[in-house]
Structure 1
Amino acid sequence: MTEPSVDQSLFIIWSSSDPEVAHNLAFMYAHNSLAKGWWERVRLIIWGPSARLACEDAGVAAKLRAMIDDGVEVWACRACADNYGLSQQLEELGAQVLYVGRPVTEMLGQGWRQLTF
């Protein structure tokens, strides 16, 4: 399997703790982008307050698991998750929990497209 081209790769920083932003913006676009072939690769990054919502809202957690099952890569910022005491819960949810500062910088330098919600 070949790696998706960088110009067809999108990462989305999801930082909002508002469930409406999660369901009606970040998740809807991330999931549809991959399912409908708008992008070859989609990576959703849980960063900041969104980590709490991912762990505390069952509907949000279910949608994240569905996106992961459908091929959306879900990452979570380890520094934020550790600050909130949620690293283990995010890992159990299926997110890859890692320090994201350097990878985000690298993705930007490589030409990935980016959205923030």
Structure 2
Amino acid sequence: MKTDLFTCGLDAALAVIGGKWKPLILFHLAHDTRRYGELSRLIGAVSHKMLSQQLKELEADGLVHRVDYKEIPPRVEYSLTAFGLTLAKALAPLCEWGTAHAMEVGKMLANRSLPR
């Protein structure tokens, strides 16, 4: 792939983690191997269709490893690849920023929804 497709490194990173759910998936997988249902509960508001789609894309991109144990009931586990772990570590400071500024962000979002 040509690197001149991106204006900067952030552009390249956002091409991989674009969307609302991928960073959350990476965050939860950075802490442990997870089953599908566990990921769904941890993330919360994501639909099953969207979670499945995002996991498939992350797997296709080489960030997530999927193991299907071919059991009944089905047991599938997801974990980060070494490459995925590098991205999860890069997202950690952003998570820390969000935690430190959650109150201000909440106020910001509330102000956005006020009628003008």
TM-score of the aligned structures, taking structure 1 as reference length = 0.30
Q: Which has the higher contact order (CA 8 A, sep 6+)?
A: 1
Bigger strand share: 1
Q: Which has the larger radius of gyration?
A: 2
Structure 2 length as normaliser, TM-score?
A: 0.30
